[in-house]
Amino acid sequence: MKKAIIIIGCVVGVLVLFIGGGLLYITNGLNTGANLAINPVDLTQIEDSTYSGSYGSGRWNNTVEVTVSDKKIAQIKVVKTVGFEIQETTNTIISSVIEKQNTTVDTVSGATVTSKAYLKSIENALTK
């Protein structure tokens, strides 16, 4: 009987650690990302080239390459995706930035932190 209680206690302990660790991973960086300020970029000051930019906070680490041609954003390539990426969200953000030619675009509803993570990477690529 004592062995059964010890085994059950160990199993419960492992489950609590596993679930707690998972919750920490999923939420780490959430507040930082939600409050992240996205600044506009001035393309008139940027030479034609391909620039790399990153952003990282919790599972929202990502890297992009932004190609500027004739003072316009011509292409944005995702080099490293965020954890739990939803391709539709990524595509929407990239399309919006290329269409508006700036990082001051609306975030995707339900994916605000992911949207801001990609926008910050694009901003970082064009301002550093």
pTM for the model: 0.80
* pLDDT band for position 45 (cuts 50, 70, 90): very high
Tokens of 86: 């939803």
Fold (topology level) of 31-127: Sufe protein. Chain: A (3.90.1010)
Cα atoms found within 13 Å of the Cα of residue 111, Cβ hemisphere only: 21
Q: pLDDT of 68-127, one tens digit each?
A: 999 999 999 999 999 888 999 999 999 999 999 999 999 999 999 999 999 999 999 999
Q: What are phi and psi of 40, to 5 degrees?
A: -70, 160
> What average pLDDT does range 12-32 have in this prediction?
58
On whether the CB atoms of residues 113 and 38 are closer than 8 A, the answer is no
Higher-confidence residue of 42 and 59: namely: 42
Q: Is residue 7 over pLDDT 80?
A: no
Domain ranges of the chain: 31-127
Q: How far apart are CA 108 and CA 101, in angstroms?
A: 17
